[in-house]
Amino acid sequence: SKTNLDYDKILSEIGDFGPYHLRQFIFICFAVFVGSGFLFTFVFTASDLNYRCLIPECENASHTTYMTPWLSNAIPFNDKDPSKCERFSTINNNNQQSDFNCFNQNISKFIDEKKCEEFIYENDEVTILKEWNLTCAPNKWKLTLVGTINNIGQFVCFPLTGFLSDRFGRRLVLTIGTFAAGIIGLLKSFSVNYEMFLLLEFLEPMIGAGIYATSLILATELVKPGKRVMALCVIDTFYATGLAYISLLAMIFHNWRTFLRVYYAPTLLTISYFWLMTESVRWLLSKGDSSKAINILSKMAKANGKPDPTETLEQLESCSINNEKSDEKADKRESLKDVLKHPFLLLRIANCSFCWLTVVFVYYGLSLNSVTLAGNKYLNFISVSLIELPSFWLNYIIVERLGRRKTLCGGLICSGLACIFYELIGGEYFWIQLLLFLFGKFSISLSFSVLYVYTSEIYPTNLRQSLLSVCSMFGRIGSMIAPQMPLLALIWAPLAVVLYGTVSLLAGLLVLRLPETKNIQLPDTIEEAKFLKQTDKNFASSIVSGN
C-alpha cells in the first residue's frame, strides 16, 4: 500500500532504530518480563511438597522434624523418602512416646491411611497444598487441575486478544492486558478458598496470556524488515529472564501469598503506558488514521534527532484526506469474514495452525518427559529457563542467513529425527540418548523462537494479530494434550516419543508450502499477502529438484 511504502521510507529518513525506538522497546520488554509469570506462577503456588504423616504416638507437631531416627519404624519408605500418606498401624493404644522404638518392626504390620490426619512438612514452604490441606491421592487432581485451567484460560485469550488488538490497537490491548492481569494476580494472593483461587487462575491468563503476542506485533511493526528477528530475540531474552525471575522470587519468598504480591506489584506500573507509549504507526496507517500517524512520526523524528520528513508527511496527509473522502470504502476494510473468500489464506492458516500445534505439543511434551533434575527445584527452573537463550540468538544468526522458512523447516525436521533416533538407539547407550534428547529440545526451541515472527509476517496488517492468535490458539491445544502423553506408554512404551518425531517431520515438510518473508515488506492487505506466495512460488520446487 502507498501509506506503508511511505512509512518504510520515513523510517529510513528519521532513523530505523534511534532513541525513540529504544524507549518503546524498553516499555515492550518490561511488559514481556513481568507478564511471563501470568502463565507460570502456578508452578510454584500449586507445587507439590515433601510431607509425611504425623505420628502422634511418637511426636508432637510443634516439636518435631521431617526426618527422625525412629521414622522407619512408623512409616514405610519409598527409596530414601518416607511415604507421604501411609503409616504403619499402631501396635498399642497408649500414647507413650519413644525415641527409637515407637513401633516394633518384628511384629506383623499393615498400612493404615486413616491414621494420616495431620502431616509434617520438610520445610517452611507454603503452597495451596499446605494451606488448604490438598494432600494425598484424593486431592492430587486439584493441584494438576490448576495448570489445566491456566491453559484453558490461554486458549480463550488468544483469539480474543487478536481481535481486540486488530480492532482497537496494540497499545490498548498491551496496557489493559498487563495491568488487569496484574490486578487479578494480586487478588489471587487474597483467595479465601481453592474455588476462588481456581477462578482467578483462569481469569488471569484469559486476560494476560496475549501480552507476548501483542508485544511481538508491536515490536515487528516498529522496525524495518531487517531488524524484525533481532526484535524477536530481544523480546525472547526478556521473556526467558522473566521466567528465571519468577523462580528467584519463589526461592526468596516461600509463602505463596507473599510471592504473588511481590511478583505482581510491578505490573501496576504498566497503566502509565497510556501516556508513555505510542500506538503502532503501521497499524494506524492500515486503519486510515494518517493524522495520528503523522503526529507520532514527527515525535519520532524529534526524539531521534532527525528533521521532519516534510515532503513524505505531506504525502501521508494527502492520503489521509483521500481516506476521509472515501469513508464508505474505509468502513469496508478487510475483516475475518474476508478470509473465507480466499482459499490460499485458509490453507495458509491451516498449515500454520498445524505447525503451531506441533511445535507447542512437542516442546511441552519433551519438557514433561524429560528426566527430573536432581537438586534445588528453584535453581533447576532457572536453568531450564535460561538454557533457551542460546537458541534465541543462534536463531537470529541462522534466520538472517537462511530465512524464516528454511530455519523453521530445519528445526522441526532435526527435532523429529532426534526423537525417532532416540528410540532407535536403545537404553544401553545412555549418553547418546541424552544428547539426542537435548538436541531435539534445542531444535524445537529454535523452531518456537522463529515461529512467532514468521507467523506475524505472512498475514495482512488488519488481520495480523487475529490470525496469529488463531494459530497460537491451536498451539494451546498441543499444550493441553502433551501432559496426557505418558498414558500412551501403557499401549506401547516408545509411542509418545515416536509421535513427537512423526508430527515434527510432517510439520517440517508442510512448512515448505508457506512463503518466505526474509527482508520482505509486511503485507497490509490480503492481496499483498497473496503476492508473497507469488513472489516465492518456485521455492518448494527448487528444494525438490535440489537447486
Which of 191-204 are b and which e, b meaning 16 or more Cβ less than 10 Å from the residue's Cβ?
Answer: beebeebbebbbbb
**Residues 33, 248: Cα–Cα separation, whole Å:** 13
Residue 83: the pLDDT is: 80
Residue 257: the pLDDT is: 95
Domains 15-49+123-278 and 335-546 share a fold: yes
Check: CB of residue 96 under 8 Å from CB of residue 71: no
* Helices (H), ranges, 370-485: 377-386, 389-402, 404-425, 430-457, 464-481
**Residues 308, 304: Cα–Cα separation, whole Å:** 10
Residue 323: the pLDDT is: 47
Architecture of domain 15-49+123-278: Up-down Bundle (1.20)
Give the phi and the psi of residue 104 in degrees, each rounded to 5. Answer: -90, 110
Torsion of CA 259, 265, 266, 267, to 10 degrees: 110
Q: Which CATH class is domain 335-546?
A: mainly alpha
Residue 315: the pLDDT is: 64
Residue 484: the pLDDT is: 64
Residue 195: the pLDDT is: 93
Grid coordinates of 454 = 514468521
Question: In this structure, which amino acid lies at residue 178?
Answer: T
Check: CB of residue 414 under 8 Å from CB of residue 501: no
Residue 544: the pLDDT is: 40
- The tens digit of pLDDT for each residue in 103-128 reads 555 444 455 444 577 888 888 889 99
Check: CB of residue 83 under 8 Å from CB of residue 75: yes
Check: CB of residue 500 under 8 Å from CB of residue 443: no
Residue 546: the pLDDT is: 41
Ranges assigned E (strand) in 267-309 = none
CA 352 to each of CA 261, 445, 467, 512, 541: distance values in angstroms, whole numbers, following the listed order: 38, 17, 10, 11, 20
Which residue ranges make up each domain of the chain? Answer: 15-49+123-278, 335-546
User: What sign for the dihedral angle of Cα 131, 137, 141, 146?
Assistant: positive
Find the helix or strand (DSSP H, E) in which 52 lies. Answer: strand 51-53
User: What sign for the dihedral angle of Cα 47, 50, 56, 61?
Assistant: negative
Grid coordinates of 481 = 494434550
CA 213 to each of CA 104, 155, 241, 244, 316: distance values in angstroms, whole numbers, following the listed order: 62, 13, 17, 20, 28
Question: Which residues in the chain show pLDDT less than 70?
Answer: 1-9, 12-13, 15-16, 90-115, 225, 308-340, 368-375, 426-428, 430, 465, 483-490, 493, 532-547
- The tens digit of pLDDT for each residue in 376-400 reads 778 777 877 787 788 778 877 887 7
